[in-house]
Amino acid sequence: MIKQKIAELFSRTKEAMQDWVGNGVLWRVAAIVLPLYILLVIVFGVYWSFTPDMPETRYLQQNSSLALVGTATTSALIDVSESLLDKPGGFLSNDVTPPGIFMDDMPAWEYGVLIQVRDLSRAMRESFSRSQSQSQEDSDLAKAEPRFNFSTNSWAVPASESEYRQGIKYLKAYRKRLSDADDPQAQFYARADNLRYWLAGVESRLGSLSQRLSASVGRPRLNTDLANDPNARQSTPTVSEQRVKTPWLQIDNVFYESRGTAWALICFLKAVEVDFADVLANKNAAVSLRQIIRELEGTQQSMFSPMVLNGSGFGLLANHSLVMASYITRANAAITDLRDLLSQG
């Protein structure tokens, strides 16, 4: 009896499907659903492409009762990391479904932000939280820093987002211990040498981005790898002059990576201005830091072009990469000057 009912059910279902397809109902439904789906993918793709607003860190008031040394920088690192994960669309670099899988500009922006998060978390673990090179590293920062170095492409078991959120959790634990008078193990040392250590990494990152942005138009470049040192050697010989040009499909990625890098640095430098206020005032370097922030803020101007233009230098079309390179280069030069100021007695 049961077998007969099951057979009748399958028979009716088969006949209904045949009638549905035969009458063209399936094609009519597909003709309606598919365009709607494509439209939704485009709308969400455009919405997810907007850069999030910079986080408002409540610790950035120098006269705030909450402004213990280190809380501004730690909070900025936490807020930037959370913005990376909680912006519209979430973290897109590891998406395997539309529209995220078709997007490359926002993942490049995310990578620029993430690189700065990794660099600052490493500086906090290795320098800011240690009084000397032989000092013991903070336990929470030692757990947080590797989490941010997890792959950006893992979408499951574990997902990249879950690892980064673990890192944020340890940063919050460190911030909580900073304000605990009964836990002297959690420290943040606002010293000139610690700040120079972090800025050296920032300087290197911006220098690389400046070169990659400038290579959008392609120019012959002389080999200066061993300049100023007659005894220097390198592993393998290279040509004395070569033409360096960013691949056409990578131009927009480099542009948005630079934009993300600058976005994160603005947040971090504003926090550094609070935590290292006495150091900067003693070196008369506060204005130099503000100038760096101002140069980087120029990279966040609104774009009125739907794509990154790559005109030939002095040609008719704009070259957004060269404009970005000019801001990045000036900020990098200002960082070099700031590091020199901090090294003076």
Confidence (pLDDT) at 307: 84
Give the pLDDT confidence of 302-322 residue by residue, as tens digits: 888 888 888 776 777 888 889
Tell me the C-alpha distance between 1 and 36, whole Å.
45
Confidence (pLDDT) at 181: 74
Give the pLDDT confidence of 30-39 residue by residue, as tens digits: 778 888 888 9
Average pLDDT value for residue range 166-193? 90
Long-range interactions of 324-330: CB distance < 8 A, separation 24+: 324/213, 324/255, 324/258, 324/259, 324/299, 325/209, 325/210, 325/213, 325/214, 327/262, 327/295, 327/296, 327/298, 327/299, 328/206, 328/209, 328/210, 328/213, 328/258, 328/262, 328/299, 329/206, 329/210, 330/295
Confidence (pLDDT) at 30: 74
Tell me which amino acid residue 10 is: F
Would 282 be classed as within a structural domain? yes
Would 4 be classed as within a structural domain? no
Give the pLDDT confidence of 99-132 residue by residue, as tens digits: 888 888 999 999 999 999 999 999 999 999 988 7
Task: Give the rounded percent of residues in the chain with a pLDDT score beyond 70.
Answer: 84
Would 40 be classed as within a structural domain? no
DSSP codes joined into one string, 231-262: T---SS---SEEEE---GGGHHHHHHHHHHHH
Would 3 be classed as within a structural domain? no
Confidence (pLDDT) at 280: 94
Work out the mean pLDDT of the chain and round it to a whole number.
Answer: 86
Would 331 be classed as within a structural domain? yes
As given in the structure block, the two tokens for residue 159 are 């997902």
State the CB neighbour count (10 A cutoff) for residue 253. Answer: 20
Domain count for the chain: 1
Average pLDDT value for residue range 79-85? 95
Helix axes 251-275, 286-297, angle to 10 degrees: 150
Q: Could you give the count of Cα atoms lying within 13 Å of 294 in the half-sphere of its Cβ?
A: 7
Would 13 be classed as within a structural domain? no
Confidence (pLDDT) at 262: 97
Confidence (pLDDT) at 345: 61
Least confident of 14-23, 65-74, 162-171, 269-278: 14-23
Residue 1 pLDDT > 70, yes or no? no
Collapsing DSSP to helix, strand or coil, 309 comes out as: coil
State the CB neighbour count (10 A cutoff) for residue 75. Answer: 23
Would 19 be classed as within a structural domain? no
Confidence (pLDDT) at 186: 87
List the domain range (segments joined by +) for residue 270.
49-221+242-343
Would 237 be classed as within a structural domain? no
Confidence (pLDDT) at 133: 72
